[in-house]
Structure 1
């Protein structure tokens, strides 16, 4: 942008640090363990030919498929471009710029704070407790003034930890008629018993975000869902783009949500969880590993001795991890996405070599 146009940019955007996605950071790897993607792609076919027509604003068949999967009614489901669009829509719908605030609990997914900053909404950061990763309920309660939304990632990215249901219920009780509680369940299929979806009927201010990017291995199609009571879904439908989900995306998502597709997803989750447990077992025996944090997702957070050297040397060998050292409580930590068995084996072999240098 030429200098004579810079002054037109909103002040909060000019000063904004963009989200550092795995693809934006880049790398020339052959083993990508930095974006929590599924290591193997699914295969789909489509018979759609009506590319000259706009898609449905909210694809009825897709909504029906997901509501059946989540055991909800159709009017409790909104389809979005990934869960990220749901994060943004909620701030747009409920927060007044320059007046209201959101709460997020770092270290966590950065897009809660980034979306709020883009929309000129204050971000109150209430860090989770170090190493136990529990939310600080007392501190949240003390900071509820002007707060409209509270974002909780569960399982949490990047720690892989689970917030106990009793803590979430206590949070819901303290925020009743005061704020909305959004539980981001992007990784919930890897720990399905911990979902809060069954509590939607008890707490009208509870909202759940879901995605097909992780367990369903469909990160490339950008399809997510917002689950909430009918009133909230109606509000979000007022501001969502007219055609957020393309016809092809909708068709592929519907196929993934068939009985066959769900069975394949569950088998995939089982394999990834087994690979995760195997990887943790092997990491525990390596001298460069200082601490491994328990994970309920398709990644594991590890604190290393000489983490910079490990990250860089693996990068040079085409094994790309995610450095978390800059985040609160995560000094010397790297996040490792769970790849295929062969990818995990190669990772262990290379770290072992580094441990003897």
Structure 2
């Protein structure tokens, strides 16, 4: 079979699909990697399980119990997934008819909502947040609910770092009752726990929450996430999930990370990250190349720079790998910077100071 014949076998919506540009896919080799919102502090566990010849449980009982206990909800309200990304995928797979149903996403936000819909040939309807305040445009969402099955809301939002007003999410839940699922992606919620929607799960049967161990728990490498929802939604998703999605080593490490002593260490890492973020943002304010710093309730900060592209390339060449957002909606001249250790934060600030001197960038009078 020729190359052209193979291409002809591909689904039409996949032929021109642009895949998600993850930090690892984009590449970049550096000593200060602040482009993927990972924890800069590693954690270490020793595997307790020693036998590898049997398949794992589809939904590991011990892990579900541990996470349900951590978030204080019932066992049957939890589904374990391969990161929050699989949660995004499972919901579209289970609830959306290809070429018929619609998902709504609110840029600037996480690109995987749109890309996953494109993969499943489901229309992704873009309803941007209100510029600069990054809050939901409830009027436009309400006017565009025809054929909508799922609305994705990232909170804290990636890449802006801002919190979506809880009252607006509640209004949206009331607007969409009986019409669509409201999926709140809380991948970064440990950095702003007071803003979680988890206490509303019992009240709203169409509320779904995505969680992960990749960020605050410092376990991006094991790819472990959770869907929190009412048991009817969980039962539906159990129909479409892979037979053995969560490996035994992942379950082992995840369970250890949810022990009380590990949770306490996680909270200390979050506090350390918050302090570094505050320090870093204050230092950024003093730099003449900084035009605007957006408020952040996550482990990253979005910054608008003068000479944005040149700054990004200069720091890249010095092994400081950041996330360029310049081409995203509303984010002209913006770079997202994950919060690293204090040493890494100091290094970034020092290099930005050198850049300003080298390029004769002066503070506006």
TM-score of the aligned structures, taking structure 2 as reference length: 0.97
Consecutive unaligned residues in structure 2, runs of 5 or more: 359-365
Aligned position for 1:21 = 22
Taking the aligned partners of 1:159 and 1:47, their CA distance within structure 2 comes to 39
Taking the aligned partners of 2:192 and 2:225, their CA distance within structure 1 comes to 18
Aligned position for 1:63 = 64
5 Å-filtered alignment, 1:1-357, equals 2-357=3-358
Deviation digits for residues 16-38 of structure 1 (CA, Å, limit 9, x no counterpart): 00000000000111100000000
Report deviation, 1:218: 0.2
Taking the aligned partners of 2:309 and 2:47, their CA distance within structure 1 comes to 45
Report deviation, 1:40: 1.5
Deviation digits for residues 61-115 of structure 1 (CA, Å, limit 9, x no counterpart): 0000000011100000000000000000000000000100000000100000000
Report deviation, 1:49: 1.4
Deviation digits for residues 309-356 of structure 1 (CA, Å, limit 9, x no counterpart): 100000000000000011100000000000000000000000000011
Taking the aligned partners of 2:19 and 2:180, their CA distance within structure 1 comes to 27
Taking the aligned partners of 1:93 and 1:46, their CA distance within structure 2 comes to 34
Report deviation, 1:47: 2.3
Taking the aligned partners of 2:198 and 2:5, their CA distance within structure 1 comes to 50
Give the 3-state SS of the residue equivalent to 2:9 in structure 1.
Answer: coil
Deviation digits for residues 177-209 of structure 1 (CA, Å, limit 9, x no counterpart): 010000000000000000000000100000000
Taking the aligned partners of 2:304 and 2:136, their CA distance within structure 1 comes to 21
Taking the aligned partners of 2:76 and 2:318, their CA distance within structure 1 comes to 49
Report deviation, 1:3: 2.2
Aligned position for 2:361 = none
Give the 3-state SS of the residue equivalent to 1:150 in structure 2.
Answer: strand
Taking the aligned partners of 1:264 and 1:246, their CA distance within structure 2 comes to 24
Consecutive unaligned residues in structure 1, runs of 5 or more: none
- Asked whether the 8 Å contact 2:48–2:252 carries over to 1, the reply is no
Report deviation, 1:122: 0.2
Taking the aligned partners of 1:148 and 1:28, their CA distance within structure 2 comes to 41
Give the 3-state SS of the residue equivalent to 1:255 in structure 2.
Answer: helix
Taking the aligned partners of 1:243 and 1:50, their CA distance within structure 2 comes to 16
Deviation digits for residues 287-320 of structure 1 (CA, Å, limit 9, x no counterpart): 0000000000000000000001100000000000
- Root mean square deviation of aligned Cα: 0.6
Runs of 4+ in 1 over 4 A off after TM superposition: none
